[in-house]
Structure 1
Amino acid sequence: FEDMMMRTPHIAQRLLEMTLDELDAAREWMLVLGRKTAREKIASLLSIIARRDATLNLAGVEGPLEFDLPLTREAMADYLGLTLETVSRQVNALKRDGVIDLVGKRHVIVPDFDRLSEEAGDDSDGGMLS
């Protein structure tokens, strides 16, 4: 493995980038689980999914974003350490407040990503507000 890394430095660079991305995601997730309100946790999860979906589709976060939730509300509750009822209430509140739109139970439209980031407790460039 080390020999291959020496012979192909572009692979070493890409592995480093992937490792740093994973560390950043782990740090972000620790903050989500440890310091945020239920509404912020839901908004953070939706923000993470929206960003990853936009990246996979080579799209930016400008304009409305649309994606299908890969998780049920029950799975979201387990993942975030919340009850199913809390997840449902918070998703409905985000919908009522115009932060997200829902088509069916799993298709999410984010009209304004910056607003979703604010609801998540993040500023527009993804950093944490103090």
Structure 2
Amino acid sequence: MARRSLFPCRHRGCAALVREPGYCDKHAGDAVGWKPDKQRGNRHERGYGADWERLRGLILRRDRYLCQCDECKRTGRVLPATEVDHRIPKAECGTDDPANLSAINADCHKRKTAKESARARARARR
């Protein structure tokens, strides 16, 4: 039986080799990412069903469909908002309380989520 070749660790700059595509033991914390619906539950099971859609519409109307992210507010930039974001992420004990929700532009939302994901990965490494 032929031996399978080893794969390089996906962590940038790491020279370790692993049997399965992914990360070595040292960088396993980098593997934090999207999980399939089987593991994390579908949108309704995670709290994003019909009630969320109603709340989302209320927040967008409250914020006049304008981005309320910190960067846009700080720089005076006016961008249309199409999404609703948790100011304190649910993963960090944030709630669906309207005071914790704000309208946000899709690009700003991606940027904010990337920062939150980096923070979560850093916590996972500790």
Greater relative contact order (Cα < 8 A, sep 6+): 1
| TM-score, length basis structure 1 | 0.27
| TM-score, length basis structure 2 | 0.28
Which is higher, the Rg of structure 1 or of structure 2?
2
